[in-house]
């Protein structure tokens, strides 16, 4: 940085006043003006007395020096009037240099010097960033932003310092008592640089900023050679590595405006490795680096870093051979490894076990007892694992002299057989499916067991027993037939009706509207106008529909096919709103698109998502609700038109529309029709049964 001279005057509204009392300027100005007049008059008087009575003559023109003196005196008087005491002193000193006996200079300089000795100024210093140490002349140093008061008028040296930044030095002129502000001091960060080189070139490096050898921040990564500039002074760690060589580390210190050099040399050597048998994997580890696979024997390894290396030879399932070697620069060593080995046979009861040496499966995990492998001689601890059986451990010495060694594992287990009448029952134990009867479990760990047997439409049963090592359990179970339908499954009742499980209602609904054939078989009559066995029964009263449901409940209960707690009945209005599902009009028998002349066979069109046919169309379906205010509220909620005059009358609700309906209103899902429960002349009315809990 170059010293500079700076003068800055703050505007009057933001003046920072000195704490020292200041005398007004005007008395000094008056005093100096008077001294100027006195000096000029005195000079004239002395000149007259010294010259004596001389004849008056016209003065000759003044010389160049006199003109300069007169001009500077005039400029000094202006400086005094404006309060520029430093400028006035400089000008009067120049006048005195030109004319040592000049009365103006002789009279004014003592007064100006007294004024300058008394005057004090103020300097306000701010820096970017703040917090820098600021010193002005011999005044006490402060931290920026800083305000220096009582500063003598004149030129002062300003020094700004902050750790990590270049210092700033300036010359500051205080020429008045008005506060001066220095706000343009921006500090530049100090920095150094590091040069990273290696032999050979191309080594990977990391530069890490540290504090007391602890990593703080990753600064840069790259390859050598490299120069990293503009680094903050401080401690750094340089890591350099070449693949296959131990990593090298150095701690260096960066100083301001200094270049630091870091270098590393990666020397090379070689190894020739053979083994008996050949084909062993060679793994090598240099220093603290990760172990890596280098190839299979025989193998030549060149360009290895000089220093200690750990070699490990691995072959099949054999115990590895480990050795430490010293690689020397510029030379290649020959190394030979060999295993003394023998053939080992592994057997187990029951067969099919995996054999492990430590955590490693022999035979690469692809062989199960019985099998043979070749192993080096020595002491071994083998373990065998069989599914669902406790592991077995055997200690053995493998001798190369015997030619063959045998290791036999004996597991503790028993067996279980299960049969049922009828066969085909599902067997479950502790929540785990085991299979279907007849079932043989030849390998079962000793312990207590319970087996659950179940078969569709049969009552489930269970058998229990204790399995001992070497023993067997034999179970035969008889399953009783149960004609009760199972919840969540569709079924057919004794009348041949298909019942579909409706999960939201936790019950069943007839897949079809009750047919004329089904109605006649149970009730002995057929009231339908359009007589056809496969068509829905029509012209049936509400009372007849209820009576049919009651008779069907009695018949199914007598046959033992009625689920306990359930009965057949008509659906409620709310249940019917669930049963209709997402049934569309294009899946309904109606006269909306083509005029119909009668009912149609049930199931003529596709079912809805619950497996129910003709939920919309074919015949109106009786539900159990009276036409009430509650029904009116539901109609309004569904956006359908209600009939208030039906409320409070003896009318039952009908849902779903019919074959002879052609308007969107009549066929809307939310629409409710109503009829007297005794109405028997409605050839467009039928019903559907549901099987629900009481």
Q: What is the pLDDT of residues 592-625, one digit of tens each?
A: 988 999 999 999 999 999 999 999 999 999 999 9
Beta carbons of 535 and 600 less than 8 angstroms apart: yes
Average pLDDT value for residue range 449-476: 89
Residue 317 has pLDDT above 80, yes or no: no
pLDDT in tens, 369-421: 998 888 888 888 999 999 889 999 999 888 866 556 899 999 999 999 999 99
Q: How many residues can be counted in the chain?
A: 694
Return the closest-CA partner of residue 580 out of 624, 623, 626. Answer: 623
What pLDDT is stored for residue 101 in this prediction? 87
For residues 331-350, give the mean pLDDT. 86
Those residues whose C-beta lies under 8 Å from the C-beta of residue 400, and which sit 6 or more positions away, are 340, 341, 342, 377
Contacts of 263 (CB under 8 A, 6+ apart): 196, 197, 198, 199
More confident residue, 225 or 92: 225
Q: Where along the chain do the CATH 2.60.40.1120 domains lie? A: 5-13+120-186, 341-409
pLDDT confidence of residue 500: 95
What confidence tier does 691 reach under pLDDT thresholds 50, 70, 90?
very high
Distance CA(548)–CA(137), nearest Å, equals 118
Q: Which of 387, 350, 336, 380 is closest to 362 using CA atoms? A: 380
pLDDT of residue 54: 39
pLDDT at 692 over 80: yes
Among candidate residues 334, 399, 342, the one with its CA nearest the CA of residue 373: 342
Q: SS3 for 231-248, per residue?
A: ECCEEEEEEEECCCCCCE
Q: What is the pLDDT of residue 5?
A: 36
What pLDDT does residue 45 have?
Answer: 39
- Nearest Cα neighbor of 532 from 587, 593, 597, 583 is 597
| Helices and strands in the chain, H and E counts | 9, 45
Tokens linked to 169: 């030095």
Q: What is the mean pLDDT of residues 252-281?
A: 85
Provide the β-strand partners of residue 143.
133
* Listed range (24-33, 216-225, 397-406) with the worst mean pLDDT: 24-33
Asked whether the predicted pLDDT for residue 11 surpasses 60, the reply is no
Instruction: Write down the pLDDT at residue 34.
Output: 57
What pLDDT score does 59 carry? 36
- Residue percentage of the chain with pLDDT more than 90: 45
> DSSP secondary structure string, 187-251?
PPBP-EEEEEEEESS--EEEEEEEETTEEEEEEEEEESSEEEEEEPSEEEEEEEE-TTS--EEEE
Tokens encoding 180: 């001066």
Superfamily of domain 5-13+120-186: Carboxypeptidase-like, regulatory domain (2.60.40.1120)
Structural tokens at position 154:
């004149």
| Fold category of 491-693 in CATH | 3.90.1580
Please say if the pLDDT value at position 543 is more than 80: yes
Residue 22 has pLDDT above 70, yes or no: no
Above 90 in pLDDT, residue 357?
no
Task: Identify the pLDDT of residue 31.
Answer: 58
pLDDT band at 230 (very low <50, low <70, confident <90, very high): confident
Higher-pLDDT residue of 161, 485: 161
The confidence score (pLDDT) of residue 484 equals 66
631-666 per-position pLDDT tens digit = 999 999 988 889 999 998 999 999 999 999 998 888
The pLDDT score that the predictor gives to residue 63 is 61
Residue with tokens 């041949």: 496
- pLDDT of 124 > 60? The answer is yes
- Which of 454, 463, 349, 385 has its CA nearest to residue 417? 463
**Cα separation, 579 vs 572, whole angstroms:** 10
Q: Which residues contact 459 (CB under 8 A, 6 or more apart)?
A: 479, 480, 481, 482
Token pair for residue 376? 């080096």
Contacts 24+ apart (CB under 8 A), 32-35: 32/80, 32/88, 32/108, 32/111, 32/112, 33/77, 33/80, 35/107, 35/108, 35/111
Residue range 170-184, pLDDT digits in tens: 898 887 778 888 888
Q: What does the pLDDT read at residue 33?
A: 55
Residue 10 has pLDDT above 60, yes or no: no
Residue 219 pLDDT > 70, yes or no? yes
Residue % of the chain over a pLDDT of 70: 89
Question: For residue 317, what are the CA distances in angstroms to 314, 360, 374?
Answer: 8, 8, 9
Say which range, 40-44, 68-72, 75-79, 474-478, has the weakest mean pLDDT.
40-44
The whole-number pLDDT of residue 623 equals 97
Residue 464's pLDDT band (cuts 50, 70, 90): very high
**C-alpha–C-alpha distance, residues 205 and 242, integer Å:** 9
Q: Which of 109-118, 401-410, 583-592 has the highest mean pLDDT?
A: 583-592
Kindly indicate the confidence band of residue 289, based on its pLDDT and cuts at 50, 70 and 90: confident
* pLDDT higher than threshold 80 for residue 43: no
User: Does residue 143 register a pLDDT over 50?
Assistant: yes
Does residue 365 have a pLDDT over 60?
A: yes
For the segment 434-460, the average pLDDT, to the nearest whole number, is: 89
φ/ψ of 132, rounded to 5, equals -75, 155
Could you tell me the sign of the dihedral formed by the alpha carbons of 283, 287, 290, 294, in that order?
negative
How confident is residue 42, by pLDDT bands cut at 50, 70 and 90?
very low
User: First-to-last CA distance in the chain?
Assistant: 101
Work out the average pLDDT over 337-345.
83
- The strand pairing partners of 157, in sequence order, are 171
Top-confidence range, 46-50, 303-307, 569-573: 569-573
CA distance 580 to 656: 8
Q: Are 292 and 326 spatial neighbours (Cβ–Cβ below 8 Å)?
A: no
Mean pLDDT of the chain, nearest integer: 85
Top-confidence residue, 66 or 618: 618
Tell the CATH topology of 414-478. Immunoglobulin-like (2.60.40)
Assign a CATH topology to domain 192-265: Immunoglobulin-like (2.60.40)
pLDDT, residue 4, reads: 40
Among candidates 292, 208, 209, which has minimal Cα distance to 245?
292
Checking if the pLDDT of 205 tops 90, the result is: yes
Under DSSP, the state recorded for 617 is B
Average pLDDT of the residues in 555-583 = 93
Token pair for 76: 């000094």
Assess whether pLDDT exceeds 80 at residue 330: no
Residue range 59-65: average pLDDT? 52
Question: Could you tell me where the beta strands, DSSP code E, fall in 315-370?
Answer: 321-327, 332-338, 341-349, 354-357, 360-361
Q: Indicate whether 627 pLDDT > 90.
A: yes
State residue 268's pLDDT score.
78
At 115 the pLDDT is: 77
Structure tokens at 146: 């800083």
Give the per-residue pLDDT at 3.
Answer: 39
| Of residues 512, 540, 554, the one with CA closest to residue 690 | 512
Between the ranges 44-53, 455-464, 572-581, where is the mean pLDDT highest?
A: 572-581
Task: Give the per-residue pLDDT at 191.
Answer: 80
* C-alpha span between 95 and 79 (Å, rounded): 14
CATH 2.40.37.10 is the classification of domain 341-409? no
Token output for 144: 């920026």
Q: How many whole angstroms separate alpha carbon 85 and alpha carbon 89?
A: 6
Q: Return the CATH architecture of domain 268-338.
A: Sandwich (2.60)
Flag the least confident range among 50-54, 303-307, 372-376, 480-484: 50-54
Q: Whole-model pTM above 0.75?
A: no
User: Stretch 71-83: mean pLDDT, rounded?
Assistant: 83
Q: Model confidence at 341, in pLDDT bands (50, 70, 90)?
A: confident
Distance (Å) of CA 332 to CA 306, 324, 335, 513: 11, 15, 10, 96
Average the pLDDT over 27-49 and give the result: 49
Please say whether the dihedral angle defined by the alpha carbons of residues 288, 293, 298 and 299, taken in this order, is positive or negative: negative
Residue 420 makes CB contacts below 8 A (sequence gap 6+) with: 437, 438, 453, 455, 476, 477, 478, 479
**CATH 3.90.1580.10 domain position(s) in the chain:** 491-693
CA atoms of 4 and 421, how far apart (whole Å)? 113
Vertex 212: Cα angle to 206 and 213 (nearest 5): 35
- The boundaries of every CATH 2.60.40.10 domain in the chain are 192-265, 268-338, 414-478
SS (H, E, C) 110-149: HHHHHHHHHCEEEEEEEEECCCCEEEECCCCCEECCEEEE
Question: What is the three-state SS of 271-303?
Answer: EEEEEECCCCEEEEEECCCCCEEEEECCEEEEE
- Report pLDDT digits (tens) over 498-527: 999 999 999 999 999 999 999 999 999 999
């Amino acid at each position: 940085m170059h010293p500079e001279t700076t003068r800055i005057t703050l505007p009057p509204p933001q003046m920072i006043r000195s704490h020292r009392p200041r005398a007004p300027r005007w008395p000094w100005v008056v005093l100096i003006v008077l001294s100027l007049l006195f000096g000029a008059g005195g000079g004239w008087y002395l000149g007259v007395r010294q010259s004596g009575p001389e004849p008056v003559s016209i003065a000759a023109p003044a010389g160049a020096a006199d003109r300069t003196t007169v001009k500077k005196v005039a400029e000094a008087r202006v400086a005094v009037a404006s309060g520029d005491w430093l400028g006035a002193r400089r000008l009067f000193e120049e006048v005195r240099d030109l004319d040592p006996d000049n009365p103006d200079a002789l009279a004014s300089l003592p007064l100006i010097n007294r004024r300058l000795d008394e005057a004090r100024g103020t300097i306000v210093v701010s820096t970017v960033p703040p917090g820098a140490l600021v010193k002005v002349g011999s005044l006490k140093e402060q931290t920026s932003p800083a305000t220096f008061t009582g500063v003598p008028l004149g030129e002062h040296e300003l020094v700004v310092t902050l750790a990590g930044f270049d210092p700033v030095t300036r010359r500051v002129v205080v020429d008045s008592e008005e506060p001066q502000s220095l706000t343009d001091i921006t500090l530049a960060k100090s920095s150094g640089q590091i040069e990273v080189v290696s032999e050979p070139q191309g080594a990977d490096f990391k530069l890490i900023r540290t504090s007391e050898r602890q990593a703080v921040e990753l600064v840069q990564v790259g390859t050598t050679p490299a120069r990293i500039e503009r680094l903050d002074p401080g401690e750094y760690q340089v890591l350099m590595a070449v693949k296959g060589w131990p990593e090298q580390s150095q701690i260096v210190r960066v100083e301001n405006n200094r270049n630091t050099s870091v270098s590393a040399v990666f020397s090379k050597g070689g190894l020739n490795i053979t083994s008996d048998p050949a084909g062993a994997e060679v793994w090598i580890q240099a220093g603290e680096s990760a172990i890596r696979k280098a190839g299979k024997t025989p193998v030549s390894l060149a360009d290895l870093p000089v220093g200690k290396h750990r070699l490990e030879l691995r072959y099949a399932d054999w115990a590895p051979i480990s050795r430490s070697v010293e690689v020397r620069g510029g030379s290649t060593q020959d190394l030979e490894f060999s295993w003394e080995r023998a053939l080992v046979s592994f057997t187990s009861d029951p067969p099919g076990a995996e054999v492990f040496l430590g955590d490693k499966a022999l035979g690469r995990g692809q062989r199960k007892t019985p099998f043979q492998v070749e192993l080096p001689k020595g002491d071994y601890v083998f373990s065998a694992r069989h599914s669902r059986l406790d592991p077995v451990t055997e200690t053995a010495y493998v001798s190369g002299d015997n030619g063959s060694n045998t290791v036999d594992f004996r597991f503790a287990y028993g067996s279980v057989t299960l049969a049922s009448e009828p066969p085909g029952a599902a067997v479950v134990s502790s929540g785990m499916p085991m299979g279907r009867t007849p079932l043989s479990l030849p390998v079962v760990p000793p312990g207590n067991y319970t087996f659950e047997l179940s078969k569709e439409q049969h009552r489930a049963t269970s058998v229990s027993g204790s399995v001992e090592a070497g023993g067997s359990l034999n179970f035969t179970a008889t399953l009783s037939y149960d004609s009760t339908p199972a919840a969540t499954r569709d079924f057919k009742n004794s009348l041949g009706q298909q019942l579909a499980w409706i999960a939201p209602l936790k019950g069943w609904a007839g897949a079809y509207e009750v047919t004329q054939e089904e109605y006649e078989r149970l009730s002995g009559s057929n009231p339908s106008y359009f007589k056809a066995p496969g068509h829905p029964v029509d012209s049936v009263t509400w009372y007849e529909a209820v009576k049919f449901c009651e008779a069907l409940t009695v018949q199914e209960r007598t046959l033992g096919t009625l689920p306990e707690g359930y009965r057949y009945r008509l659906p409620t209005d709310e249940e019917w709103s669930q049963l209709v599902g997402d049934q569309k009009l294009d899946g309904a028998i109606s006269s909306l698109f083509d005029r119909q002349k009668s009912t149609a066979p049930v199931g003529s069109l596709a079912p809805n998502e619950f497996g129910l046919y003709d939920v919309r169309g074919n015949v109106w379906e009786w539900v159990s609700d009276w036409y009430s205010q509650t029904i009116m509220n539901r109609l309004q909620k569904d956006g359908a038109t209600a009939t208030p005059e039906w409320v409070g009358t003896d009318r039952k609700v009908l849902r779903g529309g019919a074959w002879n309906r052609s308007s969107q209103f009549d066929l809307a899902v939310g629409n409710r029709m109503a009829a007297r429960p005794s109405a028997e002349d409605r050839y467009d009315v039928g019903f559907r049964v549901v099987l629900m809990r009481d």
